Structure 1
Amino acid sequence: MPDLEMYRNQERHMSKRIAIFGAGAAGSYIGAFLTREGHDITLIDMWGEHVEAMRENGLRVSGSQGDFTVPVNALHLSDAMQIQGKFDIAFLAMKSYDTEWSAHFLKRLIASDGVVVDSQNCMNDQLIASIVGYGREVGCVMSGITVALWEPGHVTRGGQPGHTVFRVGELHGKITPRVEEIVEILSCIDGAIATENIWGERWSKLTTNSSGNPVGAMTDLGSYGVASNSDARRIQINICKESCQVALAQNYRVEPIRGIAAETYAKADDGGVYEELDAKFQPGPAGGADWKSSMGQDVLKGRHTEVEFMNGYISAQGRASGVPTPINDAIVQIVSEIDSGTRKPSPENIAAVLRMAGMA
Structure 2
Amino acid sequence: MTGASLKQSPRIAFLGTGAQGASIAADFAAAGLDVTFIDQWPAHIEAIRDKGITVNLPTRSFNVRVPALHLCQVAEIKQPFDLIFLVVKAYDTLWASHLAKSVLAEDGFIVGLQNGMTHEEIASVVGHHRTIGAVIEIASNMWVPGITNRQNDHDESWFALGALDPAQQHRVEGVAEILRHSGRVEVVDDIRSAKWMKLVVNAAELIPSAIIDTALNDAARAPGMLDVMREAGYEAMRAALADGATIMPIIGMPPSMSNDPERYVDEIFAEVLKTFSREDTLTTSLQDWRKGRRAEVREVNGWVVDILRAHGQAAPVNQRVVEIALEIEAGLIRPDQRNIALLKSDLQPAGAERA
Greater than 4 Å deviation, 4+ residue runs: 172-175, 257-263, 276-279, 281-284, 356-360
RMSD: 2.6
CA distance in 2, matches of 1:211, 1:69: 35
Compute the TM-score of the two structures, normalised by the length of structure 2.
0.89
**Residue 72 (structure 1) aligned with residue 66 (structure 2):** yes
Which letter maps to 1:190? G
**Structure 2 partner of 1:243:** 236
Compute the TM-score of the two structures, normalised by the length of structure 1.
0.87
Which letter maps to 1:186? L
Map 1:257-276 to 2 at 5 A: 263-266=259-262
Q: Percent identity?
A: 32
Question: Secondary structure at the residue paired with 2:69?
Answer: strand
**Structure 2 partner of 1:148:** 141
* Cα drift, residue 19 of structure 1: 0.7
CA distance in 1, matches of 2:214, 2:315: 24
Question: Secondary structure at the residue paired with 2:50?
Answer: helix
Change (3 A) 1:95 1:350: same
* Cα drift, residue 188 of structure 1: 1.1
Change (3 A) 1:279 1:189: closer
Which letter maps to 2:305? S
CA distance in 2, matches of 1:110, 1:28: 20
Which letter maps to 2:80? K
CA distance in 1, matches of 2:272, 2:60: 28
Aligned length: 340
Contact 1:330 1:357 in 2 (8 A): no
Contact 1:203 1:255 in 2 (8 A): no
**Residue 329 (structure 1) aligned with residue 319 (structure 2):** yes
Bigger relative CO (Cα 8 Å, ≥ 6 apart) = 2
Which of 188, 197, 205 is residue 195 of structure 1 equivalent to? Answer: 188
Which letter maps to 1:305? A
**Structure 2 partner of 1:128:** 122
Contact 1:14 1:40 in 2 (8 A): no
Contact 2:17 2:87 in 1 (8 A): yes
Contact 2:218 2:279 in 1 (8 A): no
Which letter maps to 1:322? G
Uncovered stretches (5+) of structure 1, i.e. residues with no partner: 1-11
* Cα drift, residue 40 of structure 1: 0.8
Which letter maps to 1:171? L
Which letter maps to 2:143? W
**Structure 2 partner of 1:306:** 296
Which of 41, 44, 53 is residue 47 of structure 1 equivalent to? Answer: 41
**Residue 157 (structure 1) aligned with residue 150 (structure 2):** yes
Deviations for 1:160-215, whole angstroms, at most 9, x for unmatched residues?
A: 64146011101245773421111000111111121112011101111111111112
Contact 1:107 1:131 in 2 (8 A): yes
